Amino acid sequence: MHDLAESKGRQAMFINQSPEILERLMHYAIIESVRASTSMEGVVVPETRQLDEMVRDAKWKPKNRDEQDVLAYRNALNYVFEEGTRLKLSTETILSLSKILWAHDPELARLKSEDNEIALVYPDGTKVSRFKPPSASETPELLERSCVLYNDLIENSEYVDHLVISAFILDLLCIHPLADGNGRLARLLHVMLLVKADYQAIRFVSHEGLIERDKEEYYDALYQSSKGWNEGQHKPNAWMNFSLGKLYLAFKRFESQVTEAQKTFADSIRRSESSQVAQMLEAITPGQSFDRNYIETKSKVSGRTTRRVIGDWITQGRLLKVGAGRGVRYKKLR
């Protein structure tokens, strides 16, 4: 947890740099989150290029149920990033997210009206119950109590916020308040609560993507930690460890991606500047001489880059250095 606190403390240093890099990272993170979270629920996700278009185009018209699910998650995720920090966790907030997720099927946006279960279905069709959530009649009260308890704990600085968030998400998954889409809803709320608690790196690295890559571990941690939940005898250690690990990984990936993107961006600028100087040298007539200041003034490129390119041309036998010191000039040979 100490490492995570240090990473959280460093995030401002990375976020305050290169807005164009962060904008690109956020776009890719949204694409990955939409892909990962919906595919975990059995949705057939379009190939990457089409998915990119669907995320970018606010007016995209879905052609089938799978595309409706994909666009709904995109809309819900955008809502979380735009409005999540001002929302207080409550049953109303949860249902408002659910309405966005199920805009194309409003009946599913409501709290469950019938009891449900979490079951494992094998390829041969065999179905094995893994967990029996509370009844539909108990759900409204349990959900509201969980929200009130969460808000009380978050407002008490004695508790580590990301542990309180993970505990609430576990409770939500055990309550299983909707008839369908509880996993998607839980992952959305997890992102919202993390961003609200100032874990801003989650905006730029797909939390859902990290979960989906280890989904077997995700489901196993949920299964292990939900045993005895109905009786208040569960042990959430496996779930907490999994959640903490993914959050820490998100921060490490965020830092490495920003660092690598900045390096790539800087290399691109250097290549562009070098190209500018080379183009100016190409335009000079063979036999003509000039000083370095002429190139720097015309190109507005740094002296360091100009010196490097001129040095390369001298090595290649294309320029001749004439004189020394401040009066040095260069003669183009070819």
Q: Which two tokens stand for residue 255?
A: 């830092």
pLDDT tens across the length of the chain (334 residues): 657 777 777 877 777 777 778 888 889 899 999 999 999 988 988 888 888 888 888 888 888 999 999 999 999 999 999 998 999 999 999 999 999 999 999 989 999 999 998 887 766 777 778 889 999 999 999 999 999 999 999 988 777 899 999 999 999 999 999 999 999 999 999 999 999 999 988 999 999 999 999 999 999 999 999 999 999 999 999 999 999 999 999 989 888 888 877 676 555 656 677 788 888 888 888 888 888 888 888 777 778 888 888 888 888 888 888 888 878 898 888 7
Kind and range of the H or E element at 129? strand 127-131
CA 301, distance to chain mean position in Å, is 36
**Parallel/antiparallel/unpaired status of strands 289-290 and 127-131:** unpaired
Q: Distance (Å, rounded) from C-alpha 184 to C-alpha 69? A: 10
Phi, psi (deg, nearest 5) at residue 316: -80, -5
Q: Distance of CA 189 to CAs 41, 142, 151, 156, 314, Å?
A: 16, 17, 14, 20, 61
pLDDT of residue 227: 93
**Phi/psi class of residue 115: alpha, beta or left (left: φ > 0; alpha: ψ in -120 to 50)?**
beta
pLDDT of residue 264: 66
Kind and range of the H or E element at 331? strand 329-332
User: Please, what sign has the CA dihedral across residues 252, 254, 260, 263?
Assistant: negative
CATH dotted code for 284-332: 1.10.10.10
pLDDT of residue 2: 59
Count the alpha carbons within 13 Å of 331 in the hemisphere toward its beta carbon: 6
Alpha helices in the chain (DSSP H): 2-15, 19-39, 48-56, 65-83, 91-101, 139-155, 161-175, 182-196, 207-213, 215-226, 237-283, 292-299, 303-315
Ranges of each domain in the chain: 2-262, 284-332
pLDDT of residue 113: 94
pLDDT of residue 334: 79
pTM for the model stands at 0.77
What is the CATH T-level fold of the domain 2-262, as seen in this structure? Fic-like fold (1.10.3290)
In sequence order, the 6+-apart residues with CB closer than 8 A to the CB of 300 are none
